[in-house]
A and B are shown apart, each in its own frame.
Chain A
Amino acid sequence: MKTNEQSRRQAAFMRWLVRIFMILVTVIMLYPLIWNVYSSFKTNNEFLTNAFSLPQGIAWDNYARAIEKSNLLSNVWNSALIVVITLCVILVFAVPCTYCLVRYKFFGSKLILNIYMAAIFIQATFIMIPLFMQMNALHLLNNRPALAVLYATMQFPFAIFLLSGFLRSIPHDYEEAAMIDGCGPSRILLQVIVPMSKPGIVTVCMISSMSAWNEFPVALVMLTDSTKQTLPIGLANLYEVQRYATDWGALFAALVLALIPTIIIFLIGQKQLIQGMNAGGLKG
Chain B
Amino acid sequence: MKPQVADQIKCKRKKNPVGFICVCVLPTFLLTLTFTIIPTFRALWLSLTNATSLGLNSKFIGLENYEYMFQDEYFVLALKNTLKLMACVPAITIALALVLAFIISQSDLKERGLYRTAFYFPNIISLTVVSIIWSFVFHPTMGILNSFLNGVGLHVWAKSWLGDTSTALWCIAVTLIWQATGYYMVMHIAAMDGISNEIYEAATIDGAGPIHKLFSITLPLMKDIIGITFVLALSGTINLSFTLSKVMTGGGPNGASSVLLQYMYEQGFINGNFGYAMAITVFTLTISIVLSMISRKLTNNES
Taking Cβ atoms with an 8 Å cutoff, the residues of A that contact B are: 14-15, 18-19, 21-22, 25-26, 28-33, 35-36, 47-48, 50-52, 93-94, 96-97, 99-101, 104-106, 109, 112, 115-116, 118-123, 125-134, 149-150, 152-154, 156-157, 176, 179-180, 184-186, 210, 213-214, 216-217, 220-221, 231-233, 235-236, 239, 248, 251, 255, 258-259, 262, 266, 270, 274, 277-278, 280-282, 284
Which among A130, A180, A251 is the interface contact of B43 at CB below 8 angstroms?
A130
Q: Nearest 6 A-B pairs (CB), nearest first?
A: A281-B190, A130-B39, A51-B147, A96-B24, A214-B126, A232-B128
A184 and B17 contact, CB distance less than 8 A? yes
Taking Cβ atoms with an 8 Å cutoff, the residues of B that contact A are: 5, 9, 12-13, 16-18, 20-21, 23-25, 27-29, 31-32, 34-40, 42-43, 46, 100, 103, 107-109, 114-122, 124-129, 131-137, 141-144, 146-148, 151, 178, 182, 186-187, 189-194, 210, 225, 235, 238-239, 242-243, 246-247, 261, 264-265, 268-269, 274, 277-278, 281, 284-285, 288-289, 292
A153 and B147 contact, CB distance less than 8 A? no
6 extra interchain contacts, Cβ-Cβ under 8 A, other than A19-B109, A104-B16, A274-B116? A30-B121, A121-B289, A130-B39, A214-B126, A217-B261, A281-B190
Which residue of B121, B143, B268 has the most chain A CB atoms within 10 A of its CB atom? B121
A93 and B133 contact, CB distance less than 8 A? no
A48 and B141 contact, CB distance less than 8 A? yes
B124 and A93 contact, CB distance less than 8 A? no
B178 and A29 contact, CB distance less than 8 A? yes
Give chain B nearest CB distance to A256 CB in angstroms: 10
**Contacts A28-B178, A51-B147, A121-B289 given: A150-B35 contact, CB under 8 Å?**
yes
Give chain A nearest CB distance to B163 CB in angstroms: 12
Residues from chain A with Cβ under 8 Å of B136 in the complex: 36
Residues from chain B with Cβ under 8 Å of A156 in the complex: 28, 31-32, 36
**Contacts A15-B108, A48-B141 given: A93-B27 contact, CB under 8 Å?**
yes
B124 and A210 contact, CB distance less than 8 A? yes
Give the CA-CA distance A251 to B4 in the complex, in Å. Answer: 72
Residues from chain B with Cβ under 8 Å of A22 in the complex: 100, 103, 109, 115
Which residue of chain A is the closest to B134 with respect to CB atoms? A32
B9 and A179 contact, CB distance less than 8 A? yes
B143 and A51 contact, CB distance less than 8 A? yes
Give the CA-CA distance A18 to B118 in the complex, in Å. Answer: 16
Main SS of chain B's interface residues? Answer: helix
B132 and A235 contact, CB distance less than 8 A? yes
A97 and B25 contact, CB distance less than 8 A? yes
Give the CA-CA distance A32 to B32 in the complex, in Å. Answer: 39
A126 and B261 contact, CB distance less than 8 A? yes
Give the CA-CA distance A115 to B135 in the complex, in Å. Answer: 39
Give chain B nearest CB distance to A233 CB in angstroms: 8
Which residue of chain B is the closest to A146 with respect to CB atoms? B35
Give the CA-CA distance A100 to B278 in the complex, in Å. Answer: 35
A26 and B21 contact, CB distance less than 8 A? no
Which residue of chain A is the closest to B182 with respect to CB atoms? A29
Jot down 25 A-B pairs with beta carbons below 8 A, ordered by A: A15-B109, A26-B115, A29-B119, A29-B121, A30-B118, A36-B136, A51-B143, A106-B16, A118-B289, A119-B32, A127-B40, A129-B43, A129-B268, A133-B39, A134-B39, A156-B28, A179-B9, A184-B17, A214-B127, A217-B243, A235-B128, A255-B132, A258-B129, A280-B190, A281-B189
Residues from chain A with Cβ under 8 Å of B129 in the complex: 232, 235, 255, 258-259
Residues from chain B with Cβ under 8 Å of A214 in the complex: 124-128
Give the CA-CA distance A229 to B193 in the complex, in Å. Answer: 41
Residues from chain B with Cβ under 8 Å of A236 in the complex: 128, 131-132, 246-247
Give the CA-CA distance A221 to B262 in the complex, in Å. Answer: 13
B281 and A185 contact, CB distance less than 8 A? no
Give chain B nearest CB distance to A85 CB in angstroms: 13
Give the CA-CA distance A122 to B144 in the complex, in Å. Answer: 36
A101 and B25 contact, CB distance less than 8 A? yes
Give chain B nearest CB distance to A136 CB in angstroms: 9
B25 and A100 contact, CB distance less than 8 A? yes
A232 and B127 contact, CB distance less than 8 A? yes
Give the CA-CA distance A274 to B190 in the complex, in Å. Answer: 8
**Contacts A104-B16, A262-B126, A266-B124 given: A25-B119 contact, CB under 8 Å?**
yes
Residues from chain A with Cβ under 8 Å of B28 in the complex: 93-94, 96-97, 156
B17 and A125 contact, CB distance less than 8 A? no
**Contacts A104-B16, A116-B32, A214-B126 given: A122-B40 contact, CB under 8 Å?**
yes
